């Protein structure tokens, strides 16, 4: 299970090969037991101390830890003609960790912590490929309560600038031979992002929130799309969330070419031009009772020539949910908010490390859904799947032919408490990280027995 880590981090440059070996060992420990504390995941107290010392090293920056994973991610990206670059911002809440220095206020003024903006890449089929950018910062306490003054500032002085910076970083990292589609939720609905220069083959797909003025129309954005005749329907799988129940939703589709007017509250010296985009409105047909129906208004630079194009773009947007799952794994699986570290710098070092673990868990979860018949030896060594097989089937000897990826993921999930009933669907990432922890212990026990027998 740990062989992938050496391959993933082989390009990492930390100034000393011993530091790279230490990072590999840390990721091995944390990925084997994602839910465990650093002390529980480490094999000895010496390894625990080495982990904390590594995160406190003055010679290593978080960006250096991430770079090896970013390089490996770009290599995976080049295997696709199109890649989806999903941007999102989350916050790490450390309000209860009074001894932690370097934090700032969060969206709730009483809460303290860090803000994190990431670019998470996904294949057109929905398989997570990895992180290519991650920005961590704390808000200045002096800015608290000054939201109206911040609105008057130019974009480059606002947090909105991070979306533009991430877009530029995306365009510079991903080869021009690959078409990149930046996907983002309503936070990215601002004029500067639409008007910003992009490299050839770089597009965006943004969920709108503002009811914008349109050039050449007395109607605003929403009423314009609502007045357009539907061109068809499609289905999307809605995942469980705080506001949604899992279901297959039927969506009615409308789309139109629109031109948005530049903001009226900007200095005239900026000479802002209108921006022409494609607008897509999808609304859920006959949603379940007491459930908020899906309504997505998407703005994009992607070309629309037929209904199939629109259906594809809506499906791509539905994969934005994957970055929310990535954040969920970091917080609930890896326990990034539970770390008792003393400085924001150490937290960012830990975040850079755990980001690799979180991606791998998501990758395994979704790879099994899209490539179920692949050999399990993509992710498990022979002795690992054999230990898993004999445990699940209560047999002394496994088959000699490796099972499929879907089979072993199902078995790992069963170790984590997955029942596998028809109504349960595919295993989720939570039961997988629990199952992987148990499988690691089983394999360690088997290896120990083998050493005694030899």
Query: Structural domain boundaries of the chain?
Result: 3-59, 63-341, 371-453
Which residues neighbour 86 within 8 Å (Cβ) at sequence distance 6 or greater? 119, 120, 121, 122, 182, 183, 184, 319, 320, 322, 323
Class (C level, CATH) for 63-341: alpha beta
If you classify domain 371-453 with CATH, what class do you get?
mainly alpha
Distance CA 113, CA 249 (A): 36
Count how many residues are written for the chain.
Answer: 454
**Domains 63-341 and 371-453 equal at CATH topology level:** no
Name the CATH superfamily, with its identifier, for domain 3-59: Tn5 transposase; domain 1 (1.10.246.40)
CB atoms within 10 A of CB 115: 20
Beta-carbon contacts of 85 under 8 Å, excluding residues fewer than 6 positions away, are 119, 120, 121, 132, 170, 174, 180, 181, 182, 183
Give, for all 454 residues of the chain, the pLDDT tens digit. Answer: 667 999 999 999 999 999 999 999 999 999 988 888 899 999 899 999 999 999 999 999 999 999 999 999 999 999 999 999 999 999 999 999 988 999 999 988 789 999 999 999 999 999 999 999 999 999 987 777 666 665 667 778 889 999 999 999 999 999 999 999 999 999 999 999 999 999 999 999 999 999 999 998 889 999 999 999 999 999 998 877 666 677 899 999 999 999 999 988 777 767 789 999 999 999 999 988 888 899 999 999 999 999 999 999 999 999 999 999 999 999 998 999 999 999 999 999 999 999 999 999 999 999 999 999 999 999 999 999 999 999 999 888 887 899 999 999 999 999 989 887 766 678 888 899 899 989 988 988 888 887 776 6
Q: How many angstroms separate the CA atoms of 201 and 137, rounded?
A: 30
Instruction: Tell me how far apart the alpha carbons of residues 91 and 110 are, in angstroms, rounded to a whole number.
Output: 14
* DSSP 8-state code for residue 333: I
Q: Residue 317 and residue 314: Cα distance in Å, rounded?
A: 5
Instruction: Note the pLDDT of residue 103.
Output: 93
Helices then strands, each counted (H, E), the chain: 15, 10
Using DSSP's 3-state secondary structure scheme, residue 247 falls into: strand
Q: What pLDDT sits at residue 154?
A: 73
Residue 2 is predicted with a pLDDT of: 67
Q: What is the pLDDT of residue 148?
A: 60
- CA dist 372 and 361 (Å) reads 16
Q: Is the distance from CB of 261 to CB of 216 less than 8 angstroms?
A: no
* Number of C-beta neighbours around residue 171 at 10 A: 19
Name 41's Cβ contacts closer than 8 Å, sequence gap at least 6. 29, 30, 32, 33
pLDDT computed for residue 266 by the predictor: 78
Q: Give residue 147's pLDDT.
A: 62
């Amino acid at each position: 299970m740990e062989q992938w880590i050496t391959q993933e981090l082989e390009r990492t440059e930390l100034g000393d090969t011993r530091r790279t070996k230490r990072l590999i060992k840390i990721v091995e420990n944390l990925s084997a037991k994602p839910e465990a504390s650093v002390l529980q995941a480490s094999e000895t107290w010496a390894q625990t101390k080495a982990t904390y010392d590594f995160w406190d090293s003055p010679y290593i920056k978080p960006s250096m830890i991430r770079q090896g994973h970013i390089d490996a991610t770009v290599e995976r990206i080049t295997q696709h003609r199109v890649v989806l670059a999903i941007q999102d911002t989350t916050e790490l809440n450390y309000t209860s960790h009074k001894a932690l220095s370097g934090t700032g206020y969060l969206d709730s003024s009483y809460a303290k912590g860090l803000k994190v903006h990431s670019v998470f890449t996904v294949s057109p089929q929905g398989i997570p490929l990895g992180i290519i950018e991650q920005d961590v910062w704390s808000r200045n306490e002096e800015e608290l309560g000054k939201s109206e003054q911040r609105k008057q500032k130019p974009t480059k002085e606002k947090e909105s600038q991070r979306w533009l910076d991430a877009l530029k970083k995306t365009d510079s990292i991903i080869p021009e031979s690959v078409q990149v589609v930046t996907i983002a939720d309503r936070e990215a609905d601002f004029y500067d992002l639409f008007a910003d220069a992009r490299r050839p083959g770089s597009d965006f797909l943004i969920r709108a929130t503002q009811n914008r003025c349109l050039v050449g129309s007395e109607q605003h954005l929403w009423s314009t799309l609502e007045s357009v005749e539907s061109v068809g329907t499609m289905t999307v799988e809605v995942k469980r969330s705080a506001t949604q129940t899992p279901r297959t939703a039927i969506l009615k589709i409308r789309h139109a070419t629109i031109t948005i007017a530049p903001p009226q509250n900007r200095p005239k010296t900026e000479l802002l031009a209108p921006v022409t985009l494609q607008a897509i409105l999808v609304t859920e047909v006959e949603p379940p009772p007491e459930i908020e129906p899906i309504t997505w208004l998407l703005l994009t630079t992607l070309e629309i020539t037929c209904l199939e194009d629109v259906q594809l773009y809506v499906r791509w947007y539905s994969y934005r949910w994957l970055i929310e799952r990535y954040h969920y794994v970091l917080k609930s699986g890896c326990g990034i908010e539970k770390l008792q570290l003393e400085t924001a710098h150490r937290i960012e070092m830990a975040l850079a490390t755990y980001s690799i673990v979180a991606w791998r868990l998501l990758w395994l979860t979704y790879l099994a859904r899209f490539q179920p018949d692949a050999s399990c030896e993509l992710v498990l060594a022979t002795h690992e799947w054999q230990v898993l097989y004999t445990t699940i089937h209560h047999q002394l000897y496994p088959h000699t032919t490796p099972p499929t990826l879907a089979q072993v993921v199902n078995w790992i999930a069963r170790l984590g408490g997955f029942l596998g009933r028809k109504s349960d669907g595919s295993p989720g990432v939570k039961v997988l990280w629990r199952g992987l922890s148990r499988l690691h212990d089983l394999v360690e026990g088997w290896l120990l027995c083998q050493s005694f027998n030899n």
